Chain A
Amino acid sequence: MNEMEIYSIYKDYFANSMLPYIKCKNCDYSFYYPRNRCPQCGSDKIEIKKSSGTGEIYSYTVFNNSIWAIVSFPEGFRLYMNIDSAGEPDVGKKIKIKFIDGRPYGSC
C-alpha cells in the first residue's frame, strides 16, 4: 500500500461513515495518520482496519466557539478532531464519531 492508496481507502471509509486506522501486522502498533510503513518498526506489513468509532477525550480546548480535541480510541490510536458537546466537555468523557463533509467529528 502506498500513501495515495491509503488516502483513497480512508476516503471510502469516511464516505461510509466509518473511522479507519492502520495496524502494523509485524509489531501490532496502531496509528491513524497515514504512512506507507509502520513508524514504529518500519515494516510495510500494514493493514487498514475499522475502528469502533467510540472513543474518549484525551484533552480538549475551547477555541473560537468550537471544541478542538485529541480523542483516544480503544484500538490504541489517537487523533485530532473538533467535537460538539451538549454538556461540558471533559478529559475522559466518551465520544461517538460522526461525519460531516467527509470528515470525522466527535459528539458527546
Chain B
Amino acid sequence: MIKGFAEAVYKKYDGTAYDLMNEALEKALNMAGIQRSDIQGFITTFLPGIFDGNIFLHFFPDQLCGYLGINPKYIDSLDYGGPSVLAGLYRAEKLIKYEGLDNILLLFGGKGSLVRQTRETVDSYENLYDGVTNTPYKQLLSGYSYKNPLSDYALVAQRHKKIYGTADEDRARLMVKQRKNGNDSGYSMFTGDISVDDVLSSPVISSPLHLLEIVYPVDGFHAFIVSKSPGKLRPVKIKKYGEAHWSKLPPELEEIMITPASESSRNFRDEIKHCDAYELYDSFSITVILQLEDTGIIKKGEFGKFIEKTDISSSGDMPLNTGGGSINRGQPAYMSGSVLLYESLLQLNGMAKNQVRDINSVFINGIGGWSRNHSVSMILGD
C-alpha cells in the first residue's frame, strides 16, 4: 500500500538533480510520517543526461542512496523508460509480501531541461559523445535525419492516419479535452483553454504531429513510499497487473501500430472496461490512442468517433487523464509514468481538485523504453 507520495516538478530547476530528488523525498516522508532510517528498499532508474547532463553514472543507485542518507536492504534500478516506476510499484509490493521488507522508496525523475538545451533527447543524447553507442545498429542508423522518440511515434501516427483514417482533428480533440482536465486539476504546468484550431495551427514538428500534441520534458522527481500499512491514506494496492517487453526495432515489428500494451493488458480486459478512471501514457497524442486500442477499450479505427462523443473530464462518462496528463503537467526527465501514478493516487485518496466521485479503481497504462518496447498495465484500487 502507498503511505506517502509527492512530486517536485519545475519547468526549469536551477539546482542539481540531487537537490530536486531530496525535495520530492522529504515531502513523501512527511506524508508517510516516517524517517529516512525507516526506508528498507529503494528502486529508481537512469536515462542518459537526466542527472545534471551526465551520460552515465557509475553504480548509480548506490550513489543516490549515499546522497539521500538511506540504508536500504534492497536496491534496484529498472530500465523500462517511462513505465519503470509502475513496474517498481509491483516489485515493491512483492518485496513487502514475500521478503518481509517495509517502506520501499520509489524515486523516479531527473532534469529534462539540460538534455533539451542540447537539442537532443535521451534517445539521441549519445550523439554528443564520440564513441558512445546506445544500440548495436548505430552504424546503420547514423547519418540520417530523424529524432527519436518523436520520429518513431510520428511514423505510427502517419500510418494510423492512412490505414484507420485517424484524422489530425481527432488527435487534436483529445489534446483539447486533456487541456481542459489540466485546467481543472489546478496543478498543470500548461494551462488556458485551447481549441482544435490551436492544436492544428501549432507547428508540425514531425508530420503529422504538431507541437501541441508532443510532451514537453521538464525537471522533476516523484517519490512514492510503498509500505505494509497505508498510514493516513486509503489502502491502495495493485488489483490487476501485467507487463510486456517486445525488444524489437520498429522496422522488425510485424505491425508498428500494435504495442506491447496488447499483451500486458491481455489477462484483465473485462475489468479494464469497468474502471472508474483511466490514466494512459501520453508522450504524444497518438500514444494514448494506441493504448485505448491495445487494451481493448476501443476498436482500432474507432478513435475519431470515440473522442467526439466521450466526455473525458472527471465528471464525464469516461474520466481519462484527469490531471491533464503529462502533456499538460510536463514530462519529468522524459518519463511520464510517475505523472500517471501521482494523479491516480490523488484521485483514489479524494485529494484531487477535480475529483472523480465514488472512485474505487483506476486503470493505468505506461509505455516506453527504446521505441516503445515496454508496457505496464495495472488496475489500482482497494
Interface residues of chain A, those whose CB is within 8 Å of chain B, are: 3, 7, 10, 31-35, 39, 58-64, 66, 68-70, 77-82, 90-92, 101, 103
Contact = CB atoms under 8 A, between A and B. Distances in A.
B207 A61 contact: yes
Nearest to A11: B139
B156 to A, nearest CB: 7
A64 to B, nearest CB: 5
A5 to B, nearest CB: 14
B151 A103 contact: no
Interface stretch (B53-61, B249-257, B273-281): B249-257
Contact of A62 (B136, B139, B204, B252): B204
B207 A63 contact: yes
**Residue in A3, A33, A58, A78 with the greatest tally of chain B CB atoms within 10 Å:** A33
A82 B155 contact: no
B154 interface: yes
Contacts of A68: 144-146, 151, 154-155, 206
B254 to A, nearest CB: 10
18 contacts: A7-B139, A10-B140, A34-B137, A34-B140, A58-B256, A59-B159, A59-B256, A61-B151, A61-B209, A63-B154, A63-B205, A69-B155, A70-B155, A70-B250, A77-B252, A79-B251, A91-B158, A91-B163
Nearest to A60: B158
Q: Which 4 A-B pairs have the closest CB atoms?
A: A61-B154, A78-B251, A59-B159, A63-B206
Nearest to A101: B143
Contact of A91 (B144, B159, B206): B159
Contact of A63 (B143, B145, B156, B163): B145
A61 B204 CA distance: 10
A70 B159 CA distance: 10
Q: Identify whether the interface residues of A are mostly helix, strand, loop, or mixed.
A: strand
A95 B151 CA distance: 20
A33 B150 contact: no
Contacts of A78: 251-252
A71 to B, nearest CB: 8
B147 A63 contact: yes
A70 B152 CA distance: 9
Contact of B143 (A10, A31, A103): A103
Interface in B33-68: none
Given A7-B139, A59-B159, 11 more contacts: A59-B162, A59-B256, A60-B155, A61-B207, A63-B207, A70-B251, A70-B256, A80-B250, A81-B144, A82-B146, A91-B159
A63 B140 contact: no
A68 B139 CA distance: 17
Contacts of B207: 61-63
Nearest to B139: A7
A79 B141 CA distance: 10
A35 B137 CA distance: 9
A82 B144 contact: yes
A59 B155 contact: yes
A91 B162 contact: yes
B170 to A, nearest CB: 17
Contacts of B250: 70, 80
Nearest to A80: B251
Nearest to A81: B144
A19 B173 CA distance: 42
Nearest to B204: A62
Interface string B246-275: 000111100010000000000000000000
A61 B158 contact: yes
A40 to B, nearest CB: 10
Contacts of B137: 33-34
A62 B205 CA distance: 8
Contacts of A70: 155, 250-251, 256
A69 to B, nearest CB: 8
